[in-house]
Amino acid sequence: MADLPHPWDMYASLQNSLRHHHRVGDRSWGTEAGMAHILNTPAGFPPTQHEVDQIVANDRRRERYLACRRTPMPEDVATPHPEEALHARHALATIQRRVSERNWQLLTAAAIGTNYEEIARTVCARPGALRIKVLRLRRELLALVA
């Protein structure tokens, strides 16, 4: 490989490291982040090797964390029957009519997996109190829908 000027030597090195790994994972995402950082730095202010290495390591760590949080979809999950989907929509509409707007937002935030600490900051409440409130709302609404 020919001698390349800085920072293209780092870019070529990162690009070369991708050739040996054919699987997309934390290593490839981290390498891509390092290459993107090199491309996005302003001309005349090339990044240092330490900066690029740190970006690669941080992105690899972030990708590993996100991969652990992803839950794989079970193989045996079937597509719901249209009547079941219609029944579920009707039940959700009934629930939405029965609860206040604030409680509906709380339930939807909890349902999509928003952290209770994050919800607590937006509504100025304690996370523990919100957990209890969601638990009580769910029990109350299960009795209503059943």
The answer as to whether 96 is a domain residue is yes
Token pair, residue 107, equals 């339930």
Token pair, residue 37, equals 């950082």
Q: Identify the residue with better confidence: 19 or 20.
A: 19
First to last CA, the chain: 70
Residues 12, 65, single domain; the answer is yes
- CATH number for 117: 1.10.10
Which is nearest to 102 in space by CA: 80, 123, 124?
A: 123
To the nearest whole number, what is the mean pLDDT of the chain? 86
d(CA 125, CA 37): 39
Taking the whole predicted model, whether its pTM rises above 0.75 is answered as: no
d(CA 10, CA 59): 17
pLDDT tens sequence across 55-71:
999 999 999 888 888 77
The answer as to whether 119 is a domain residue is yes
d(CA 111, CA 125): 18
The answer as to whether 1 is a domain residue is no
Total structural domains within the chain: 2
The answer as to whether 76 is a domain residue is no
Domain residues for 29? 8-69
